Structure 1
Amino acid sequence: MELKPALEAVLMVVDEPATEEHLAKVLQRSRREVADALRELADEYDVQGRGFELRAVAGGWRYYTRPAYAPAVEGFVLDGQQSRLTQAALETLAVVAYRQPVSRSRVSAVRGVNCDGVMRTLLQRGLVEEAGTEPETGAILYRTTNYFLERMGLRGLDELPELAPFLPEADAIEAETQEGVPSFDPDAPDSEDADDKTEL
């Protein structure tokens, strides 16, 4: 089989980014051959101005709609319906992304509100996952997933933008999180849950 058409056929059916190692094993080629062919395909699509592109994200390769044609796909697939994360969920996800692995109580301390409901939503959507326990307290730690990287279009966490330009008070936030974690009434209504039910 010709390598490039074979790669295109396989990548058309993957539901998550395929690694070069896996593709090389399946197609019985060397990783170098596969890596070179993938880059050549990506360049060819760019030159041709195709409606899709081949990206290296989350440790693998996958086809994506070219950003310029996103409105067309959105109109067809979503038919005007959009499922967006709430502001609370986005803030919580950002805290996990930049401070991972991190416990729910530490995320709540940074945000200043109980984030249990939002964390459940992020877990259900596959954007965060458990990452062991904190030795001192036994609290469950959380981190972002490969799906998070994929949705953000990142190859790895090192591509997250620097916080300094966007958070002038980053030092104050850091100092606050080193203090005791605020206590929350477990019997009180979870305002974040309410947000999830109405907005997510």
Structure 2
Amino acid sequence: MEATDIPRSGDDPGAGTPGGQRDQALQAGEPGGDGTPGGPSLTAALEAILMVVDEPVAEVTLAQVLERPTAEVAAALRALSGEYTASGRGFDLREVAGGWRFYTRAECAALVERFVRDGQQARLTQAALETLAVVAYRQPVSRARVAAVRGVSSDGVMRTLVARGLVEEAGTDPESQAVLYRTTSYFLERLGLRSLDELPALAPFLPDDVEILEEQK
């Protein structure tokens, strides 16, 4: 490398380019950038907040905290997400369960799990998975209804799902007064879904006589 290629102390490579000037403005919070004069840029503020959250944060909430237009915040979040993907970062910024949060990129998930859990993974039992599936597709649903679908009592399993934050109470049935249950935003987060509308359709997996079986119950 020639001496002329080595940046001098205090110099910013690319500062003479339009992109470099914009990056400097973003970092310094100068007028013309994302930030306000003397303060952090919008992107820096978003990164700082999202770095410490333990659940997805809605765009409107971030806009209120930062006192910026929601549309501007939404655009900045999507730009950051695209930037992280394009640069191949080990983390990802995703919109999940009505909000935004940092996640480990899929390619690095196995390494992180090995580090955090030392190879030990806490998994839901088959009974818990069945019960969770019934709640997800039939919600709001009572424990009696879940038991009717599974053919076995699900009281203990339901308590486990509630304790893990995957299921929560959703009022009572107006006729039977039975407690109803539904999935939580944490459930959406764990499955990487924005809403229940993104659940896969069940029709392709159901038997042809499902309607007759349903009427017989």
Does TM-score exceed 0.5, indicating one fold? yes
Report how far residue 167 of structure 1 moved. 2.7
Q: How does 1:56-67 map to 2 (within 5 A)?
A: 56-67=95-106
Report how far residue 165 of structure 1 moved. 1.9
> 1:21-59: CA deviations, max 9, x gaps?
110011111101100000000000110011010000000
Name 1:44's counterpart in structure 2: 83
Q: Are residues 1:117 and 2:156 paired?
A: yes
Name 1:5's counterpart in structure 2: 44
Identify unmatched segments of 5+ residues in structure 1: 181-200
Aligned residue pair count: 178
Report how far residue 164 of structure 1 moved. 1.4
Q: Are residues 1:161 and 2:197 paired?
A: no
AA matched with 2:139: Q
AA matched with 1:40: A
TM-score after normalising by structure 1: 0.86
AA matched with 1:43: G
> 1:84-103: CA deviations, max 9, x gaps?
00011001000000000000
Q: Are residues 1:16 and 2:55 paired?
A: yes
Counterpart CA distance in 1 for 2:164 and 2:173 is 23
Identify unmatched segments of 5+ residues in structure 2: 1-39
**Alignment partner of 2:122 out of 83, 96, 104:** 83
Report how far residue 179 of structure 1 moved. 5.0
Check conservation: 1:134, 1:140, Cα contact below 8 A. yes
Secondary structure of the 2:201 match is coil
Q: Percent identity at matched positions?
A: 70
Secondary structure of the 1:54 match is strand
**Alignment partner of 2:176 out of 114, 137, 144:** 137
Check conservation: 1:45, 1:54, Cα contact below 8 A. yes
Name 1:95's counterpart in structure 2: 134
Runs of 4+ in 1 over 3 A off after TM superposition: 174-180
Higher relative contact order (CA 8 A, sep 6+): 1
The Cα RMSD (Å) is: 1.3
Counterpart CA distance in 1 for 2:117 and 2:42 is 34
Counterpart CA distance in 2 for 1:114 and 1:88 is 10
Secondary structure of the 2:187 match is helix
Check conservation: 1:106, 1:177, Cα contact below 8 A. no
Q: Which has the larger radius of gyration?
A: 2
